[in-house]
Amino acid sequence: MAYAYVLLDADDTLFDFVKAERHCIHGVLERCGAASPQAEQLFVSINQGLWRRLERGEVSAERLRVLRFEELFAKLGVSLSPQEGAALYLQFLAESCFLLPEALGVVQTLARRRIPVAVVTNGFSYVQHRRLQLSGLLPYLNAVVVSQDLGLQKPDPALVDLALDRLGCRDRTKALLVGDSLSSDMAAANNAGVCGVWYNPRRKPRPQGQPFYEITRLSTLLHLVNHP
């Protein structure tokens, strides 16, 4: 099967989110005089837990934005208000653009082969749009769908449906959804009836009986696609 449409997740698929998150939380904690590797790791775990809850529909994106700083600052005894921490973090994040090494080359190759490509990302609209603008990827993308624009997030298939629509894809069996997350990306692919490609560079164990491709390098994706 040659696939002719590609949907790409952004964070930890195109962008090095681990690096961006560390950079931004370090900046926030430095302002509060509370920067340390332990405090940064605490934020990472709080944030990951809340994003999983967001995917399950247990917390809204707007609530998550501040709640992660309420929890962090309460544990660290920081005097900055959680609202200020949240705003500062997103300001840093909107300006931090660390692409993974193969991302630009893969997206450029897809564009050269005239494969329609959309980015489908869970995140805050102005932050994700700004980072994509800074990344140099935008000229090669045919559509960008950010969860906050819809008020829904992956694994909800509505994001995939909108991206396919914007790409003019009438046959979803010809589409691939590529991403690093089983709970958002592979679940969204499954819910939307498109083929998933799990980007798994750290070679995490694969769950049993899941019908998606698995790649450890983004460029391997190029073997799966062909212009119709």
Smallest gap from residue 74 Cβ to Mg ion (A): 28
What distance in Å separates the CA atoms of residue 45 and residue 29, rounded to the nearest whole number? 15
Q: Considering the complex, state which of residue 82 and residue 184 has its C-beta at the smaller distance from Mg ion.
A: 184
CA 7 from chain centre, in angstroms, equals 12
Q: How many residues bind Mg ion (CB under 5 A)?
A: 5
Q: Considering the complex, state which of residue 40 and residue 55 has its C-beta at the smaller distance from Mg ion.
A: 55
Please tell me whether residue 180 binds Mg ion under the rule CB under 5 A: yes
Helices (H), the chain: 17-31, 37-55, 61-76, 82-94, 103-112, 125-135, 147-150, 158-167, 187-192
Please tell me whether residue 16 binds Mg ion under the rule CB under 5 A: no
Amino acid at 114: R
Amino acid at 24: C
Site map for Mg ion, 195-214, x if CB under 5 A? --------------------
Q: Considering the complex, state which of residue 71 and residue 180 has its C-beta at the smaller distance from Mg ion.
A: 180
Residue from 4, 6, 7, 12 touching Mg ion (CB under 5 A): that is 12
The 8-class DSSP code of residue 154 comes to T
CB atoms within 10 A of CB 60: 13
Please tell me whether residue 21 binds Mg ion under the rule CB under 5 A: no
Q: Considering the complex, state which of residue 14 and residue 94 has its C-beta at the smaller distance from Mg ion.
A: 14
175 with 196: CB under 8 angstroms? no
Cis peptide before 155 (omega within 30 of 0): yes
Please tell me whether residue 40 binds Mg ion under the rule CB under 5 A: no
Please tell me whether residue 55 binds Mg ion under the rule CB under 5 A: no
Q: Considering the complex, state which of residue 16 and residue 180 has its C-beta at the smaller distance from Mg ion.
A: 180
CB atoms within 10 A of CB 51: 21
Smallest gap from residue 122 Cβ to Mg ion (A): 8
| Interaction site with Mg ion (CB under 5 A) | 9, 11-12, 180-181
